[in-house]
Amino acid sequence: MDRTVADPMIGRVLDGRYLVGPRVARGGMATVYEATDLRLDRLCALKVMHGGLGDDGDFAGRFVREARAAARLSHPHVVGVFDQGDDDGTLFLAMEYVPGGTLRDLIRTQAPMAPAQALALLDPVLSALAAAHKAGLIHRDVKPENVLLAEDGRVKVADFGLARAVTAHTQHTTAGVLIGTVSYLSPELLVDGRADARSDVYAAGVVLYEMLTGRKPHEGDSAIQVAYKHVHEDVPAPSRLVPSLPAYVDALVARATARNPHLRPADARVLLHQVRRVRAALDHGVVDDPELTCDLAPTVPVQRLGGTPDDIDYVRDEPAEAPTVLSPEQAVQTASRTTSSEDTTAFGSLPRTRPAPAGGRTGGPEQRRRSPGRRRGPVLLSVVLLLAVAAAMGGWWFGAGRFTTTPGVVNLSTRAAGAKVAAAGLTFRVAGRAYSETVPVGAVVSTRPAGGHNVPRHGTVSALVSRGPERHPVPSLATMTLASARTALTGSHLTVGEASYAWSDKVAKGVVLRSDPRPGTVLRRGAAVDLVVSKGPAPVRVPHLTGKDADAATSTLRRLGLKVASTERNSRTVAKGAVISQAPVSGRLLRGDTVRLVVSKGPVLVEVPEVRRMSAERATSTLEQAGFRVSTDHVQYYLGLGIVVQETPGAGDLAPQGSTITISVI
């Protein structure tokens, strides 16, 4: 999306709370912007309805329903809705902001995808839709553009603005208008506007087809042509474009995109279960699983004889005929029936008996001479029959008789699997146990040989039984260094996620403060654990202490966790006990650092010299040489002699250097 285009909405503050930022996307009903929630100081996505649509009651109502519908869904794979408001006719939604791209972007760059990757992406989408279907909501606009892929790997389904509560009165689209993208609309929604959970299933199946092949199943020059194909043509098998796809993947796509909604999974939860069965088969390298393919293949509706059109049974859509393998007993019976024919057997033509001549006589001497040949006929027939039986038995043994097909038993309990394998003439053995995210505890994860393989009769099928999902507790990582914590997580089959840093007065720099999730939390193998690492003590702002009492200044610095180094110096301007200077004067220090103070001892004290009986000039000179200033005062009865008769302070007293000595002259 070009964010440089002038947009009057950018820079506005909606509802006195949301500062609108750059534009992210634009749709048919609304435009999405990055925005800042000024009240909570967080980034969010703001969906603003296009101008003028707010005047349409239907559109406005549908927009408000988006907030109510999505707010009812609390699911990790659904984009959260925070708020809904109306700013002078501008309707908007505040939603969770998911930085990253969309599934459409990924399809453009990576499709066709491997089936394992495509199903891994579809799994969280179906999980979100399953939660919506359970809450009685349908999305009705499932498409790659509405699947958001976060930068951290999260998958989120967005835009439940077209979702509506499923009730007996609200299954039609408003005013008969079809909502959604035509390439993903189900046939029933196109024909009569009806939608339910199976419509979302159909759209999800189309998305899966597009991921597997890189193309949409139905394309045309116009939306009408595409819609016509959805109604009248089945979605083709993805293997037509990608021949390496297993048959059971084709069956999964066919089941999800069946034109008859009765043949599709009932909702996203059922489709999710089927997707996970296919993922399990792919994870274990199963190339062909006839049983799984048969289970997933859509069934064909058949009306019962004498019933009404609503009396429908469902049978599997299977080939009209399959080749028949005869047992030895069946081969003997077949050969007998064949040789009873007048002309031929299965192994060639037998000699015909010549017709009797006219008159009904059976023959003359020549015929009677050939009668021993006729007696050899049954002998030859017996030989032929024995050869036929031997050939049939040999063919049966070296063909079908010696081998049998391994049944598919994945997801079955060991008891059920053992019974099914035994019924096929094979021995069942539990070879070990393995973790599985999709197969329940005690059920079969995989077999060797896999289901659908031809094996000699009375062979052994070795099975791995599920131990359930592999989970590992988060170890205690506090007080470890980051490197040690990484090693500990690796040993616990977990990984380090995001490492953030925080100040700590008690924990040394580089040491783990805490983990998220907490120690003891059970996680799946390879899950990420976020760590908070200490940056050491937080820096402290140095206060201004010059001129303050040294004792008070020292107490202040120590409360901040700083050390104090004091020296004393005389000062004529700073009172004794006050701070003359400090280093550093300002800035920030770490706890434990030292602030140096220079404390005043007051001015230098000098002994006042004796100047009485000196002339005023000599007394002034003597006092100035001692570092004093001199003030001259005449006594009350001044005679003009110029002799000092008194000094203040008196001789021998200590006075601050630079202070004034007053002399009295007579």
Question: Which of the residues are catalytic?
Answer: 141
CB 331 within 8 A of CB 394: no
CA distance 191 to 194: 8
- In Å, what is the CA distance from 622 to each residue of 531, 606, 660? 77, 13, 13
- CA–CA dist 632, 618 (Å, integer): 12
Q: Please give the backbone phi and psi of residue 436, each rounded to the nearest 5 degrees, phi first.
A: -150, 135
Query: β-strand 137-138 against 164-165: which pairing, if any?
Result: antiparallel
Q: Hey, what are 516's tokens?
A: 């998220």
With b meaning 16 or more CB within 10 Å and e meaning fewer, what string describes 400-414? Answer: beeebbbbbbbbbbb
CA 131 vs CA 111, 124, 127, 372, 579: distances in Å: 28, 11, 6, 88, 70
Three-class SS of residue 190? helix
To 5 degrees, how large is the angle CA 368–CA 371–CA 373? Answer: 145
| Pairwise CA distance, residues 242 & 345, whole Å | 47
Residue with tokens 């939306």: 223
Beta bridge partners of 607: 654
Would you tell me how many other CB atoms lie within 10 Å of the CB of residue 272? 21
Three-class secondary structure of residue 215 per DSSP: coil
Note the helical H segments in 72-216: 103-110, 115-134, 187-192, 197-213
- CA pair distance 98, 44, nearest whole angstrom: 8
Axis-axis angle for helices 371-396, 328-339 (nearest 10) = 150
Nearest to 132 by CA among 169, 96, 168, 160: 160
- CA distance linking residue 526 with residue 282, whole number of Å: 20
Q: What is the DSSP string of 235-257?
A: PPPGGGT-TTS-HHHHHHHHHHT
Amino acid, single-letter form, for residue 389: V
What is the rounded distance in angstroms from the CA atom of residue 68 to the CA atom of residue 49? Answer: 16
